[in-house]
Structure 1
Amino acid sequence: MDRTELGAFLRSRRGRIRPEDAGLVAGGRRQTPGLRRDEVALLAGISVDYYIRLEQGRGPHPSAQVLRALGRALRVNEDEQEYLFRLVEGSRVASSREVPPNVLRLLERLGDLGDVPAMVVNGCFDVLAWNRMLVALIGDPAETPVERRNTLRWLFGGELAGTELARQCVADLRASGLYSDDAGVRRLVDELSASSPRFAEVWSAREVEVRHTITKRSVHPVVGELELDCEILPVHGRDQRIILYTAEPGTASHRALKLLGESLPI
């Protein structure tokens, strides 16, 4: 159980809710925005002392019932509620850099289709495997040293740091709950927090958002503008996900992907 992060997360969510949003009368002058601790305790049906101890990182192990009650009181969304459970229960998947053979076969088959770039990343966005269509789309990850082969390092090491994609990736990293359990994730967060003010800003906001499907727009040096849908599929039992890039059939982006596929050596 990560008591420190649990307390910080509760404080961050308490601070974003106006009393009137929770059906309370604001009344009186408030030193800080958001709900007071006693108001959260009232809404969650727990004692004020218990809630204060949770925020201060010295509370007991909260039950699932208490976590759900806190989620309702703080008006968290589904991803944030799941994050609360992960902070208390720990990550539910094993960290591994070894990609299962069946996933590697799937990548190869998708590459043979000629229009589906795909790769596998782990919980801290290390790029573990990819197909030849991905090479055609973004270049060959093998040309980057293994220790630098990381999507977050690429995003926050250049002009993409301020993009919505970068923000979503950080929110997704936090949602995984791996920061509390995985030394590699903690090292990555410390490194990027020190090297990128933008990363530090987004990380400290404690946004939680699991990525499923996003739209990515870019300009390819050969085929020009691309608008691709990124489907993110979990690998069962591991902290790994398959990321597929597809375009709607009949669009310019789909034709561009086909052109890239046709340019690949047989």
Structure 2
Amino acid sequence: MSPWPELRSLGRRDSMPETGFLARTATLAATTYRYQIYLPPGFTPDRLWPVILFLHGAGEGGSDGLQQTRVGLGPALRRFPERFPAVVVFPQSRRGHPWRGPMAELALHTLEQAIREFHGDPNRLYLTGVSMGGYGTWRLALEDPHRFAALVPICGGLDAPGRRTLPRNPGAASSVPEPFLEAARHLRHVPTWIFHGEEDTIIPVEESRIMVQALREVGAPVRYTEYPEVEHDSWDPAYAEQELMPWLLSHVRAP
């Protein structure tokens, strides 16, 4: 019996494709990686589907191909499947490896495989991540600013060359550091909804506050939700927001 019974199909009729969490593999540079694809209830291959790429945090790295579905977006899909009418891709980075270099390549490779296999709409691709994956969200978006239709970084921060450590005092920075402004200029056309917990002791909330300030200074379409008295696990209330998916799926990549 599988130790992960919740990863089985959500149900299957003879004439319908399997849905729920499906195991897949990807091979890069002679290394095989396990990952998961989520297909929503009612999935059918006769139309194009929006595709969400989810980047997990540092604690979910490894090689089992499953742990990345246990924190963040995966539990929300199990709890509210009706809210997420999209294909969702769950790559898994090797433990200790952030979402850059080979791991960024892996994430995008799994996304492309999902688009081909499950009729993904290239104009409705969305990127989200938590903690280390929040940093990865900014990193992947900056490396290809025109790939994604919208971004949802949660309790993360800017991963870009030249940035410095931010002060942990919210009032300490009167101006936005240039690396944040430069990143904001590159992404000023991408709708973004940022989430963070006010009491986060792992990744300080200033990471998100200053990125929001930078995006607003360049006129970018940005929303920001900061949860009072919430620590690092701000992904739980964020992915439970009823407005999140309607907002996300309302955006289509500009030609």
The bucket for the TM-score relative to the shorter chain is under 0.3
TM-score by length of structure 2 reads: 0.26
TM superposition score normalised by structure 1: 0.25
Higher helix share: 1
Structure with the higher fraction of residues in strand conformation: 2
| Bigger radius of gyration | 1
